[in-house]
Each structure stands twice: as C-alpha cells, then as structure tokens.
Amino acid sequence: MKITQDTVCFITGGATGIGFAIAGALAARGAKIMLADLHQDKLDAAAAKLSAKGADVATVVCDVADEAQMRAAAQATIDRFGKVHVVANNAGVALGGAPGAIDMKDWRWIVDINLIGVAHGVEIFTPLIQSHGEGGYFINTASMAGHGTGPGMAPYHATKFAVVGYSEALKQELEPSNIGVSILCPAWVKTDIHRSSFDKPTGGGDESDPMFQTMSDVINSGLDPADVAEWTAQCVEADRLYIFTHPEFSGAIGQRFAMIKADYDACSDFPAFQKKDAG
C-alpha cells in the first residue's frame, strides 16, 4: 500500500517507542496521524514532536483492552480526519514468570492488551476501512517471541504467537476488501516494554533485581525504533506479511521449522494415519 498525504493512520501505543517511531515514518511520507495511548501528557509530547516536523497529527487517550474506549477512539479519528486507512495495533506489554506461579489476573491483563487489543482494532476499524472503498492496511505488532520460545516468558509468547496466527488468517480474509496485513516481528528494540510488567494487576517490579537489570541491558543494546519503523513503512508499501528485523534469528527459526517437519513426518509411520489406496 502506498502511503501518501491522503492516508490516515491510527496507531495504538503511539506516544513512545515503536508506535511513535512508526508514526514518524508514516508522517514523513505525508500521512495524517492519530496517536492513541494511555497518558495524555505523553501524547502531547509526542504530538508536539511530530507537529514540529510538519505532521498533521491528533491524539486520543485510549486503553486498547477497553472496547468502549477503542470505539470512541475510532470515532474521534473519523471526526478529525473523515476516514482511516492504516491501523497499527502496536500497544503491548510483557509478562514472565514460572508456570504455576503466575496469577490469573496477570494472565488476563496481558491477553486483554496484547491479543484482545489487536482484535478490538481489527473488529472496530475493518468496517470503517471497508466503508470508503479505498483499501487499507493493518500493522499488527507481534514479536520474534511469536515465532520461537524461551523459558520464563510463556504468557508473552502465548499472546505473540496468537497475534501471528490471527494476522495470517486476516491476510487471507481481508484481501478481497483490498485491506493488507503485516505482522511486525522485532526482537530487541530500545523501548520501555520491560517496564510494562510493573503495571500488572498484582503489582511488583524491582529495578534493582538482577533479572530486570539483565533485561534492561539487552533491550538497551537493541535496535533504534526509528530504524524498525522505517523498515516497517517500506514493508507495508511492499505488502509484506512478515516484517522481520533481526537477520541473526534466521537460524533459530530454521531449527523450529526443522523440528516441526521431523515430528510431522513421524506421523506417516503410524499405520492408522497412512493414506490407503482407494478400493
């Protein structure tokens, strides 16, 4: 999809991090921007930075886990710009922990934001995009954590794998409406996502904790969000389904595919699953 001065973009988690960077990359191509986030002060600061570069930008306070707030944010976008073309479902949080030790309130918190927040964006904005007949695009932020796993972050992996699968289905279902889909799958990027777990319902979080310090060091050594955003914009214009950012993870993806293939092939040795010739 070509991004032009007639393109209207709605971006969740848009005040900081990857969301703000995506807003900048799209605005640089002339797009009009509606930033959605939880905090008005952060939205004001983000809008001021974009406006200083000549962007046509507006803001709306919105919790993506709240359907009513998302519907109100969608209406605010229509009221301000008349229509919407691109929806970046970017807002997300992180949550880890050992199996059997994660409170279900925290589980529901991460699912409501990372998965249901994306579903709200798709279900609410799809009819609005279809209504003007000009086509559109969804950018759904997943993660490399949606393609491979490691210990300690099972809830995060679960939600990101879900976003990947959901988006793969959307790609097929929305194509007849001329609505494209990309899945943003970064690894380490310099954002504050590691601090998001401090906001979980059960509280907690200690910046002096060695695990937090290690995660901070890893994330702070990651990619610049502006580079991720520029690549994202290029991939949207190229209609790429997957937006990967870290070539060094190719081997890990290959290992996972090899394991899947080996276990899939194994089922052919079980007699009940072998295809019988007709007659």
**Residues known to be catalytic:** 156
Residues making up the chain, counted from first to last: 279
Residue type at position 217: D
Q: What is residue 168's three-state secondary structure?
A: helix
> Buried (b) or exposed (e) across 37-73, using 16+ Cβ within 10 A?
bbeeebbeebbeebeeeebbbbbbbbbbbeeebbeeb
* Cβ pair 1, 180 in contact under 8 A: yes
Q: In what side-by-side order are the strands of the sheet with 32-37?
A: 57-61, 32-37, 8-12, 86-89, 136-141, 179-185, 242-244
